[in-house]
Structure 1
Amino acid sequence: MIKRSSFFVSGFLLVLVFASSFGIRSAAARTWAQVNDGDSGVNVYTVQALLKQRGYSLDVDGDFGDQTLATVKSFQGSKGLTKDGIVGPNTWEKLVIETNQGDVNVVVKALQKQLNKHGASLTVDGDFGAATLTAVKSFQGRKGLTQDGSVGPNTWAALTGNASSDGGSGGGSTRAELADTILDSSRITLATVHVSGVNDSATAKQNIIDTANGRAARRSSYGNAPGGSVTLNTSMLKGMLTIARSWRYSVSEIAGGSHSATSRHYAGVAFDVNIINGTHVSASHPNQRAFQQKCRDLGATEVLGPGDAGHSGHIHCAWPRP
């Protein structure tokens, strides 16, 4: 005689084997990233996009600041979850939205960014078309998931939680992701022409675009500029994002432009800011001293501004050379 408990256990194991064989995973089997206040990158962008699609009002910029923290807590409260502001497995399970071909929204943009993080080369336009469908199915195949092109919890978990490029971190902190987050930020404006008036392939915006695409940033080839290219420093990029939580600002130069021959700009560890909160930098700017101090607090070891020779109209923040 077979005991009922033994039959139940055997049947349950059989169901698990069947589910595993067909790429079906339970919520408990999914591995999710943990995303926290202070993180930045594509996973943060995804959290914000999902909240936005659910009707919450917040900036979708890939930077987990106070606004995102408050919104996450509000969402958690509405779902009966612990309101700790941490996006872990329980919050992800309630937050994700199934996404399919034909959808056109901000969540599709997040999906496209996630797929690009895993090696795709999609245009991030928020339109789930044929190219995105092909990329989804390819990703699902590589992860042992059902290749149905539908982005549900299993696919979202694999996209956000198992990316080698994230190094296992919740928010992602690779150089390319940091640059991508800077590009998405509504609080950072990147110059498309040098202070000198020259427009080349080494402007502040192009430096960040190149970095977001996994390329080295180019240096200018006029004046004292040495030409060539350089890899931008991740500590500097993180600093740029952190500073944006306190002020909106414009970056006039990073690795390009003509500076002193030994400038740290050419080492990829410095950036210049000429506008803070819509006002040009000057000795009388109400935020310029606090801005400089913030750079120092974040690891910059060469900070110059109004009162320093050649810096009356901008702030120069430079991190140590590698």
Structure 2
Amino acid sequence: MHKRWAFWFSGLTMALVMLASFGPAAQGVAARTWATVSNGDSGDNVYTVQAMLKQRGYSLTVDGDFGSGTLSTVKSFQSSKGLSADGVVGPNTWEQLVLTVRQGDNNIVVNALQRQLKKHGHSLTVDGDFGAGTLSAVKSFQSSKGLGADGIVGADTWAALTGNPGGGGSSRADLARTIRDSSRIALATIHTSGVSDSATARQNIVDTANGGAARRSSYGNAPGGSVYLSTSLLNGMITLSQSWSYSVSEIAGGSHSANSRHYAGVAVDVNVINGSHVSASHPNQQSFRNKCANLGATEVLGPGDSGHSTHIHCAWPRP
């Protein structure tokens, strides 16, 4: 009898120990879906990573571009937390990195929060001041995601914010798979020059969907080699497809000007919108260009611009 009770208590103790090892933090990592941010990316998620690091005392430029300085800082942070210092901001790094902000705070993390809220369609001033307007936007966002609408921005809210507007966080490969499988985005299998190689728009997306880099062409001004496509570019392409169906003629491949952003993996050329070839008289070409700019593209060219009479060129900032 005593042995049986001893065995029962031993099992109970083991179960409690195992349960304790999966406390709130561990459960949170599993429950939350985080975006993956890495070298070469740009946009609001990169800005958020940089803002968190800056607020924690690291010295770096907060500009939304994940370059060598951010890579070095991320690795340093990961090492300080006993994480694998690979420079990739995934779930484990996010969980250690994010800071909670609430009404009354005034800092660069609040600035990042406001940028994220604007990305999700909320209208507010980006000034780093967590006032009544930001509180209202946070509560509205939390309600829309089924979170407790308490206005306090902790890990659950940050995870939802840093994901795409339509759901949880997505990696570069996830975004490329969405584009590859979209019925609203046609991807060219030959260059506008007539050359066919392994750097066509479709192959760029297929290679990215498989977790690799997109190849660049090796003719004309093209430098050859490969480049990782920017997640800002990929997100932009997906969002554009929500308003129009369109055809992509070039991404990282083809021959362009010597310093073209195509070679940096941040530009896309669109030659057909809603079934009609792009021209100055196309009814959607100007609104398409305006949408590119609204999505963060800083180089938008089309009919009326030299060399772009038959396509729209949308390019995001270089990494």
What TM-score results when the alignment is normalised by the length of structure 1?
0.52
The structural deviation recorded for 1:174 is: 2.5
The structural deviation recorded for 1:175 is: 2.6
The residue number in structure 2 matching 1:193 is none
The residue number in structure 2 matching 1:202 is none
Which stretches in structure 1 are left out of the alignment for 5+ residues? 20-24, 179-224, 242-250, 272-293, 295-322
Farther-moved stretch of structure 1 (153-162 vs 92-101): 153-162
Q: Compared with structure 1, are the counterparts of its residues 48 and 176 closer, same or farther at alpha carbon in structure 2 (3 Å cutoff)?
A: farther
Alignment of 1:28-43 (within 5 A): 28-43=30-45
The structural deviation recorded for 1:160 is: 1.4
Counterpart of 2:236 in structure 1: which amino acid?
R
The structural deviation recorded for 1:7 is: 9.4
Alignment of 1:14-53 (within 5 A): 26-53=28-55
* Contact in 1 for aligned 2:29/2:92 (Cα 8 Å): no
Deviations 1:97-146 (A, max 9, x none): 11111111111111111112222122212111111111111111222222
The structural deviation recorded for 1:26 is: 2.7
Give the Cα separation in 1 of the matches to 2:293 and 2:130.
34
* Contact in 2 for aligned 1:166/1:174 (Cα 8 Å): no
Deviations 1:194-214 (A, max 9, x none): xxxxxxxxxxxxxxxxxxxxx
> CA-atom RMSD, angstroms?
4.3
Counterpart of 1:118 in structure 2: which amino acid?
H
Counterpart of 1:231 in structure 2: which amino acid?
F
Report sequence identity in percent. Answer: 53
* Contact in 2 for aligned 1:230/1:267 (Cα 8 Å): no
The residue number in structure 2 matching 1:175 is 236
* Contact in 2 for aligned 1:41/1:177 (Cα 8 Å): no
The residue number in structure 1 matching 2:311 is 267
Q: Compared with structure 1, are the counterparts of its residues 259 and 135 closer, same or farther at alpha carbon in structure 2 (3 Å cutoff)?
A: closer
The structural deviation recorded for 1:8 is: 8.1
Counterpart of 2:79 in structure 1: which amino acid?
G
Alignment of 1:56-135 (within 5 A): 56-135=58-137
The residue number in structure 2 matching 1:289 is none
Give the Cα separation in 1 of the matches to 2:86 and 2:62.
20
Alignment of 1:1-322 (within 5 A): 3-4=8-9, 5=11, 26-161=28-163, 163-164=165-166, 168-169=170-171, 171-172=231-232, 173-175=234-236, 229-232=286-289, 254-255=301-302, 259=305, 263-264=307-308, 267-269=311-313
Give the Cα separation in 2 of the matches to 1:29 and 1:270.
36
* Contact in 2 for aligned 1:48/1:60 (Cα 8 Å): yes
SS for the counterpart of 1:31 is coil
The structural deviation recorded for 1:67 is: 1.1
Which stretches in structure 2 are left out of the alignment for 5+ residues? 173-230, 240-279
Give the Cα separation in 2 of the matches to 1:76 and 1:143.
29
Deviations 1:251-281 (A, max 9, x none): 7x8458x556xx406732278xxxxxxxxxx
Counterpart of 1:175 in structure 2: which amino acid?
G
Counterpart of 2:76 in structure 1: which amino acid?
S
Deviations 1:214-254 (A, max 9, x none): xxxxxxxxxxx87971524999999x88xxxxxxxxx7x84
* Contact in 1 for aligned 2:136/2:151 (Cα 8 Å): yes
What is the number of equivalent residue pairs in this alignment?
Answer: 207
Deviations 1:80-107 (A, max 9, x none): 2111101011111111111111111111
Give the Cα separation in 1 of the matches to 2:129 and 2:237.
23
What TM-score results when the alignment is normalised by the length of structure 2?
0.52
Q: Compared with structure 1, are the counterparts of its residues 29 and 122 closer, same or farther at alpha carbon in structure 2 (3 Å cutoff)?
A: same
Give the Cα separation in 2 of the matches to 1:177 and 1:111.
23
SS for the counterpart of 1:269 is strand
Give the Cα separation in 1 of the matches to 2:135 and 2:66.
29
* Contact in 2 for aligned 1:35/1:86 (Cα 8 Å): yes
Deviations 1:265-319 (A, max 9, x none): 6732278xxxxxxxxxxxxxxxxxxxxxx9xxxxxxxxxxxxxxxxxxxxxxxxx
SS for the counterpart of 1:63 is coil
Q: Compared with structure 1, are the counterparts of its residues 140 and 270 closer, same or farther at alpha carbon in structure 2 (3 Å cutoff)?
A: closer
